[in-house]
Structure 1
Amino acid sequence: MSSPEVAVVEFLLTAEFYTEHTQLDERDLPPQYRRVFWNDGEVERPLTTTGNTAAAATGVDRPWDAVSGLMFTDRDDFSGSLSLTDRDMAAEWYLQRVEAEDVAANPTLAYAIGEQVDVDYERARESNRPIHADRVWIDGLLDEMFDEDDEEMLDLVDVKAPEEVEITLDDLVLTRDQEAEIEKVMKAIEHRDYLASIGLREIGKLLFVGPPGTGKTSVARALARQLELPFVEVKLSMITSQYLGETAKNVDKTFEVAKRLSPCILFMDEFDFVAKTRSSDEHAAIKRAVNTLLKSIDEVSLIQDDVLLIGATNHPDQLDAAAWRRFDEIVNFPKPDRNMRSDILRIVTRRMDIDGFEPDELADLTEGLTGSDLRLVLREAVLDALTEERTTLTQDDLRAAVEGFEERDNLKNMDDFDNWTGSTSGSDSETDASENGHADHDHADHDHDHAEHTH
């Protein structure tokens, strides 16, 4: 928006038109407005426009100061409400200061005044983010489903609104096979009514396989943002948590959450846990939970339930046939090759100032590293430069960071610390330092994308 006064006037116009045209619903409000007016599972008319609601919806700190000089605005000093004294004049003023795409981003205004700037209402509504993607809608549904006795369930399920996912598909470096599978999934979601009509229902269950740090979780999250779908994440190892006594019931609840939040993405991490549990001597309750999980996977469907199921594993060798056959597509996430590493470095460093940056050279030096590893390398280079009070990096800084990463990686893989020639004594403190280095690297092995921004 071009100015604070334009933002506030748009807000006031939207509130008046939405209140008047009762055929409009929540899908016709921009998400930032829905968030402000959402209450107990709905947006109630009339919309109350005060300095507080205007500030929350527009981000303008002092809304009345922004519009007090306009001929068509008024404020009630007692209630703090803001209003328009001449809506037609306000609309004309507004349209003179915005572009057609600004009106198209607000379905309510597209409905009321869109014809004046050749904006199609149906198209504006179609492109507006759906209500089920809003955090307030998700929280309202979760509040309905869970009470205080169900708090332990929230340890099992993490629900993100697409607006909370920071990474996008443009931030990722993908293989051709990964791009092809994502394209197929997006088409399946777009045309799921057609797929149902021809009886093709066994679709929409993907298994992401690959080493830690190759982007499995990040691709799933970015897909949720791209498709504007809630992201329901479950770590299957949490089933064995001491806080989750009724494991099978909680597995059922997980799928109930996904179906109630639909359309959504249900992401099940650590899927190899299923096979490990089935082949072990785990407690019978845990085995029942896993059997419930497999049955629930069989019964959930993208076509019938609007739930896209994505499983992920770092250990595909541990999966048995019962686990494999639950998925209709397997997507491989290998460690990045040289060209991918070079592209990752270019993307991750977009906001950095680097003298003499040569990503191809660094790609040659980082064979075998994952996208997560490369982010760690860059993080160390930035921190080392900051210790010298520098925010501009050099290629030498990056080379040194690669060498430092390799040294730490070697420590992680050492089986016999007694043979460590870099040590001058066998003190406990030095052993602890080595173990801390090991633990730090393990923490870095969480499955981030090939090319996520550093923050």
Structure 2
Amino acid sequence: MSAVRLVELLLTAEIFNRYEELTEDDIPKEIRKLLYNRGGIRRPVTIKEDVVIKYAGKIEQKPPFVDLNAFSKQYILTSFDLAVKWFASRGVERIKKNPALAYYYQNYDSLDVSYEEAKKANLPKHGDREWLRSVIEELEKSEDAKEMLSLVRVMSPEEIPVDFKDVALSEEQLEEVRKIEIALEERAFLRKIGLSDIGKLLFIGPPGTGKTTTARALSKKLYLPLLEVKLSMITSQYLGETSKNIEKVFEIARKMNPCILFIDEFDYVAKMRTSDEHAAIKRAVNTLLKSIDDINLVEDGVLLIAATNHPSLLDPAVWRRFDKVIEFPEPAEKIRMKIFQIFLARIDGDFNIDELVELTDGFTGADIKLVVREAVLKALLEGRKRLSQHDLVEAIQEVKERLKLKTSY
């Protein structure tokens, strides 16, 4: 198997080098991650011994058409044609999962291989942690961008700690997610028909209802990098810098496209708009609104999500910038049931979820998560890893007392 993986590496590199129409997305993720350099993967791709060891392990006996340069530690194919023939008889299943190889082999010796199918099954580069790091390294060459990146949290889908299946959403919310998925897949068609102002979502609802969690889970589901910024963080004590910071955030999003730009604490714009003391504040607000106008999913590959706990503070000039407002209310019974099912799925115990749902009227998803946390920790203190219904009911009462305390001040 190590020899097969070695030849796969060498053929992938050789075919990628020969055909300029192939892109980094045509290299399988597992191989691609080993080849990133500053700014991406540059031709000609060479395969060094350390890359081979990481991908194929130690090579005890290499095929006769493979050579290792003792000085440069680089593996090379001494006969491309022999390598192609050899791999065709041993690696068809690997070819089907490797777009670069499928591109070459789909017309070779009647092999049942499809480049299009291999391409569809291969995750794109923009979700790779390594690709994202290489883009950030390039951006950090600019001092302005480097400073701005310190205010923005950038995460690859691989670094997102929550799966989309673990987020409890209503049918209406799920339908909006499906629309975004379709818009991403059909960007070329939407551009062709002139429908480009798509992909600006405003999430509204009380704290703890899942706005941030949903934005992060979308990053993982859509396999898009996430740029997360709190609006209050990019407002500068030097008034003239705020407009520059806003422009820089949107510029970084464009350079990292396709991606999700998630702006939290969006109601902070209202505080800015009511500050009539300085013209620079007005310029900053206008810069933000213009930046929102000038970016979209179809043309720029940027899905913009803004979130606010206080939608009443936003005026019509802000609301009309978004093509869809998605409400995150305190979860109804059906959603609370989903949340309990998700949180308790990996916990041993006997539960009456109907009773738990009834007892948690008015609880947010964050409150329910706190209930499960308290119940689990208390059980562990008592030396138990199995929960009872009583543990959870008791934890609900404790959280209720905490919520009362919070609202009494």
TM range (shorter): 0.7 to 0.9
CA distance in 2, matches of 1:71, 1:143: 38
Aligned twin of 1:29? 27
SS of corresponding position for 2:197 = coil
Q: Does structure 2 retain, via aligned residues, the 8 Å contact 1:277–1:287?
A: yes
SS of corresponding position for 1:330 = strand
CA distance in 1, matches of 2:114, 2:47: 27
CA distance in 2, matches of 1:78, 1:389: 60
Q: 1:247 to 1:364 in 2, by over 3 A?
A: same
Opposite residue 324 of structure 1, the aligned amino acid is: W
Q: Does structure 2 retain, via aligned residues, the 8 Å contact 1:14–1:109?
A: no
Aligned twin of 1:311? 306
CA distance in 1, matches of 2:68, 2:352: 58
TM superposition shift of 1:242: 4.8
Normalised by the length of structure 1, the TM-score is: 0.78
Q: Does structure 2 retain, via aligned residues, the 8 Å contact 1:152–1:244?
A: no
Q: 1:70 to 1:54 in 2, by over 3 A?
A: closer
Aligned twin of 2:89? 92
Q: 1:107 aligns with which of 79, 99, 106?
A: 99
Q: Does structure 2 retain, via aligned residues, the 8 Å contact 1:152–1:243?
A: no
CA distance in 2, matches of 1:233, 1:296: 16
Please list the CA deviations of residues 273-299 of structure 1 after superposition, one character each: whole Å capped at 9, or x if unmatched. 111210135654344222211111111
Residue 185 (1) aligns with residue 184 (2):
no
Opposite residue 377 of structure 2, the aligned amino acid is: L
CA distance in 2, matches of 1:243, 1:393: 53
Opposite residue 294 of structure 2, the aligned amino acid is: E
TM superposition shift of 1:332: 0.7
Q: Does structure 1 retain, via aligned residues, the 8 Å contact 2:145–2:248?
A: no
Residue 159 (1) aligns with residue 157 (2):
no
TM superposition shift of 1:254: 0.9
Q: 1:172 aligns with which of 163, 167, 170?
A: 167
Residue 254 (1) aligns with residue 249 (2):
yes
Q: Does structure 1 retain, via aligned residues, the 8 Å contact 2:15–2:104?
A: no
Alignment of 1:275-424 (within 5 A): 275-280=270-275, 284-352=279-347, 354-415=348-409
Q: 1:71 to 1:36 in 2, by over 3 A?
A: closer
- Could you tell which deviates more after superposition, 175-184 or 103-112? 103-112
Please list the CA deviations of residues 340-362 of structure 1 after superposition, one character each: whole Å capped at 9, or x if unmatched. 1111111122222x221222221
Aligned twin of 1:238? 233
SS of corresponding position for 1:368 = coil
Q: 2:260 aligns with which of 239, 260, 265?
A: 265
Residue 68 (1) aligns with residue 60 (2):
yes
Q: 1:244 to 1:375 in 2, by over 3 A?
A: farther
Please list the CA deviations of residues 241-300 of structure 1 after superposition, one character each: whole Å capped at 9, or x if unmatched. 559972111111111111122222221111111112101356543442222111111111
Aligned twin of 1:47? 46
Q: Does structure 1 retain, via aligned residues, the 8 Å contact 2:190–2:298?
A: yes
Opposite residue 35 of structure 2, the aligned amino acid is: F
Opposite residue 373 of structure 1, the aligned amino acid is: D
CA distance in 1, matches of 2:237, 2:10: 49
Gaps of 5+ in 2: none
Aligned twin of 1:436? none
Q: Percent identity?
A: 46
Q: Does structure 2 retain, via aligned residues, the 8 Å contact 1:203–1:303?
A: yes
Please list the CA deviations of residues 64-122 of structure 1 after superposition, one character each: whole Å capped at 9, or x if unmatched. 1xx53787798788776678898455653445xxxx4x543322343355677623112
The root-mean-square deviation of aligned C-alpha atoms, in Å, is 2.9
Please list the CA deviations of residues 313-354 of structure 1 after superposition, one character each: whole Å capped at 9, or x if unmatched. 1111111111111111111111111121111111122222x2
CA distance in 2, matches of 1:305, 1:90: 40
Alignment of 1:99-138 (within 5 A): 100=93, 103-113=95-105, 118-138=112-132
Q: Does structure 2 retain, via aligned residues, the 8 Å contact 1:84–1:90?
A: no
CA distance in 2, matches of 1:376, 1:25: 46
CA distance in 1, matches of 2:386, 2:7: 45
SS of corresponding position for 2:116 = helix
CA distance in 2, matches of 1:244, 1:380: 44
Q: 2:206 aligns with which of 204, 208, 211?
A: 211
SS of corresponding position for 1:377 = helix
Please list the CA deviations of residues 127-148 of structure 1 after superposition, one character each: whole Å capped at 9, or x if unmatched. 3222233333333333333334
Q: Does structure 2 retain, via aligned residues, the 8 Å contact 1:29–1:107?
A: yes
Q: Does structure 1 retain, via aligned residues, the 8 Å contact 2:47–2:76?
A: no
CA distance in 2, matches of 1:217, 1:131: 24
Opposite residue 48 of structure 1, the aligned amino acid is: I
Normalised by the length of structure 2, the TM-score is: 0.86
CA distance in 2, matches of 1:30, 1:223: 23
TM superposition shift of 1:388: 2.2
CA distance in 2, matches of 1:69, 1:366: 64
Q: Does structure 2 retain, via aligned residues, the 8 Å contact 1:12–1:83?
A: no
Residue 18 (1) aligns with residue 13 (2):
yes
Gaps of 5+ in 1: 416-455
TM superposition shift of 1:157: 2.0
Q: 1:404 to 1:55 in 2, by over 3 A?
A: farther
Opposite residue 105 of structure 1, the aligned amino acid is: K
